[in-house]
Amino acid sequence: MASSSRRVFVVGVGMTKFEKPMTRDWDYPDMGREAGTAALKDAGIPYSMVDSVVASYCYGEPTSGQRAVYEIGLSGVPIFNVNNNCSSGSSALMLARRLVLSGQECIMALGFEKMERGLSERYTDRVSPVKRHMDHMVDIGADRGLIRNDMNAMTSDVIKLFAYAAREYMKKYPQTTFDDFVKIAYKNRRHGVNNPKAALQRATSMESIAKRMTLSYPITAGMSALTGDGGAAAIVCSEDFVQRYNLQNKAVEIVAQHMVTDMPSSFDQSFMDLAGYSMSKKAAAMCYEDAGLRPQDVDVIEVHDCFSCNELFMYEALQLVPEGHGVDLIKSAKWIKNRQDGHVCQLGGRWVVNPSGGLESKGHPIGATGLGQCAELVWQLRGEADRRQVEGAKVGLQHNYGIGGAAVVTMYKKYGSPQQGQVAAKL
């Protein structure tokens, strides 16, 4: 890989409130305008300073990015449209960072999505890009057909894949119980109470989560992220830009970032690997190596909890604990009161995972999700997360995954905080 001595920073973030689909009268240009304008305001810069835009979405026609960005301004800058399933937002962030590494000064990453109540595929006259994954799921032992007659094939297959991954995990590590997945969902729902941008902002009992409709054992509706409508954005820039415009108090550095796509292990004999476990593990390992940091240096984490079982898998993929010990973290959960009179759940005496409420509380507008995670970590590292604040947070870690497939892991550091073994950024 080529390397660059340039450092890259996020200096502005913004997001809409994520909404349940079809509950608010708006369209994707409205989402893009609201999120992008908020990010520019947060950075304290005008749109005229932006050199390029990377727009992420999945449910939309070509050049939807242009249509959304034109609500903010008509400056003639390059606009790139990105579609990488549920990791689209982080893919936009990654391309924005790489544009800065290649020489540009200020980039906007903008994600948005207008969804239905469920997942879907529009083009049925050609092979599905996830057909190989779903066919392999059946080849290694999953039942054929829909898990529920009122679901389409895409929604059913995604739930089924993670359910079989959870069963695989429970069989391999029998100390794991159904109640452990319930506890993770409860944690995220409770965190969501303090997030004004979350679609769900009410506490849910563990009993309610456990007794909600079973979609495919061990996954209940209470352990699942709802689809959503919304937008999120980040302003990404060089260190020279930060210093020229005195943005040090806004700046959070992206110290490492990697995307890993499917490997031979994805199509071997593991449902977990088919659902992104090994991809995520490899991306995280490369981030730790690039940043010269360890899991113990991380304070706050946003992971892709499309289902609560996937959060459990990520405890191990992100190297918080050895394989088979992810359940130890949720069993160690302790609620800590912060200075803003809110409570966050600390795991392993060290980490707070998904203080935003995660996808399970915020909702999952696919193109915006990764940038919503970025916004939360920037707020956390600046100390601006209000009742969700993780006290003293200096290092943040983000995981975003999309079937088809791409796992993106990003590591952030508070501007000016010490960093071990800093290495050149890699393109």
pLDDT single digits (tens) 39-55: 999 999 999 999 999 99
**Mean pLDDT over residues 162-181, rounded?**
98
Rounded Cα distance between 210 and 265, Å, is: 32
CA dihedral angle for residue 320, residue 322, residue 323, residue 329, rounded to 10 degrees: -50
- pLDDT the model gives residue 416: 80
Percent of the chain exceeding pLDDT 90 equals 93
C-alpha span between 368 and 31 (Å, rounded): 10
Q: How far apart are CA 181 and CA 341, in angstroms?
A: 27
Question: If you average pLDDT over residues 357-368, what whole number do you get?
Answer: 97
Structure tokens at 212: 């909600």
How many CA atoms lie within 13 Å of 343's alpha carbon, on the beta-carbon side? 11
Mean pLDDT within 184-209: 96
DSSP 318: T
Q: Stretch 327-346: mean pLDDT, rounded?
A: 97
**Mean pLDDT in residue range 22-47:** 97
Using 50, 70 and 90 to split pLDDT, how confident is the model at 178? Answer: very high
Q: Which amino acid appears at position 39 of this protein?
A: A
Band (418; pLDDT cuts 50, 70, 90)? low
Q: Which helix (H) or strand (E) holds 91?
A: helix 88-101
Residues 6+ apart with CB under 8 A from 280: 260, 313, 314, 317, 318, 399, 401, 407, 409
116 against 55, higher pLDDT? 55
What is the β-pairing status of strands 79-82 and 52-56?
Answer: parallel
Q: What is the mean pLDDT of residues 356-382?
A: 98
Q: pLDDT for 250-260, tens place per residue?
A: 999 999 999 99
Angle at 300 between CA 109 and CA 375, to 5 degrees: 20
Structure token digits, residue 364: 């999952």
Residue 422 scores a pLDDT above 80: no
Instruction: Please state whether beta strands 214-216 and 219-220 pair in parallel, antiparallel, or not at all (unpaired).
Output: antiparallel
Asked if residue 254 lies in contact with residue 412, where contact means CB atoms within 8 angstroms, the answer is yes
What's the rounded Cα separation, in Å, for the pair 15 and 346? 25
Would you state the structure tokens that stand for residue 176, as one six-digit string? 């794991």
The answer to whether residue 2 scores a pLDDT higher than 50 is no
Nearest-angstrom CA–CA distance, 404 and 109: 22
Looking at 111-120, 211-220, 230-239, 296-305, which range is the least confident one?
A: 111-120
Q: Which of 130-134, 155-159, 200-204, 213-217 comes out lowest in average pLDDT?
A: 200-204
The letter for the amino acid at 79 is I
Residue 51: predicted pLDDT = 98
**254 forms bridges with which residues in the sheet?**
412
Please, which pLDDT band fits residue 231 given cuts at 50, 70 and 90? very high
Q: Which residue has the tokens 């991954």?
A: 165
- Is the per-residue pLDDT at 120 higher than 70? yes
Q: Confidence band (pLDDT; 50, 70, 90) for 334?
A: very high
pLDDT-above-70 percentage for the chain: 96
- Cα 353 from Cα 184, distance rounded (Å): 10
CA 135 – CA 232 distance, rounded (Å): 33
pLDDT at position 4: 60
**Mean confidence (pLDDT) of the chain:** 95
The helix/strand/coil state of 237 is strand
Q: Phi/psi at 15 (nearest 5 deg)?
A: -155, 150
380: CB partners within 8 A, 6+ apart: 299, 300, 355, 388, 389, 390, 393, 396
pLDDT of residue 425: 54
Tell me which amino acid residue 347 is.
L
| Predicted pLDDT at 1 | 41
C-alpha triplet 378, 400, 362: angle, nearest 5°: 65
For range 145-172, the mean pLDDT: 96
Residue 417 pLDDT more than 70?
no
What pLDDT is recorded for position 282? 98
CB 77 within 8 A of CB 237: no
The residue among 124 and 246 whose pLDDT is bigger is 246
pLDDT band for position 121 (cuts 50, 70, 90): confident
CB distance 150 to 202 below 8 Å: no
With 50 as the cut, is the pLDDT of residue 192 above it?
A: yes
Per-residue confidence band for 119, with pLDDT thresholds at 50, 70 and 90: confident
Read off the pTM: 0.96
Residue 295 has pLDDT above 80, yes or no: yes
Rounded Cα gap, residues 308 and 314, in angstroms:
10
Residue 98: name the closest of 218, 20, 1 by CA.
1
Tell me what pLDDT residue 420 has. 46
| H helices, E strands: number in the chain | 14, 16
